[in-house]
Structure formats: C-alpha cells, structure tokens
C-alpha cells in the first residue's frame, strides 16, 4: 500500500474484521463531569503487522445510554480536544 492513494471503497475492500482490535488506553483523565481517554488500537493488516490507530475519546462521566459522535479531522490535523469537550458538555460521547 505504500505510495498508493486509497478511496473509501478500495480502503475497506479487503478489510479483515476478524483481526483482533488490541485496544490500549494510553492515558485517561477527568474534567468537570467528563472522562477523556487517549487510545490506540489495531487497524488493517499490512504485511505481518497492523496499522496503529490513535483516537481521543470523551464522554460524560455519568449515564449509560449516551449518543455518540465520530469526529474525523483532516489528514493534516490531529484530534481537537476543545471540539470534543464542547460535544461532551452537550451530553455526547
């Protein structure tokens, strides 16, 4: 896949969803009734290894049934903690 531009269709075409996710919480902290986590997990297989994916997860510290929102930054940006805080304060995970 090196130097190959993938469309959403070609990216997921041969995805093997039976591979383990290998999730790992890298860091966790609380702020004003909110919980935030930096997490890493395995993505698609590339040769003998898997792509390493990073995510910043936020959720209200109280409640079980919480609506969720997935925010995907542009390829030249990272996760925006201020934007995530804003939606967590509105009750989203």
Q: Could you tell me if residue 3 is inside a domain?
A: no
Its sign, for the CA torsion 31, 32, 33, 34, is: negative
Cα separation, 64 vs 60, in Å, equals: 9
Distances (CA, A) of 43 to 17, 40, 58, 66, 88: 9, 10, 20, 25, 25
Mean pLDDT by 10 residues, the chain (93 residues): 74 82 95 93 87 90 84 81 93 91
- At 51 the pLDDT is 86
Q: Could you tell me if residue 2 is inside a domain?
A: no
Note down the domain range covering 14. 8-89
pTM listed for this prediction: 0.75
Q: Could you tell me if residue 1 is inside a domain?
A: no
Output the six-digit token pair for 80. 């925006």
- At 2 the pLDDT is 63
Q: How many domains does the chain have?
A: 1
């Amino acid at each position: 896949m090196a130097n190959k531009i993938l469309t959403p269709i070609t990216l997921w075409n041969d995805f093997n969803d039976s591979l383990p996710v290998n999730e790992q919480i890298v860091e966790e902290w609380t702020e004003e009734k909110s919980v935030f986590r930096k997490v890493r997990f395995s993505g698609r297989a590339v040769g003998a290894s898997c792509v390493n994916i990073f995510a910043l997860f936020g959720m209200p510290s109280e409640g079980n049934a919480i609506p969720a929102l997935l925010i995907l930054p542009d390829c030249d940006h990272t996760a925006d903690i201020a934007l995530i805080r804003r939606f967590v304060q509105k009750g989203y995970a």
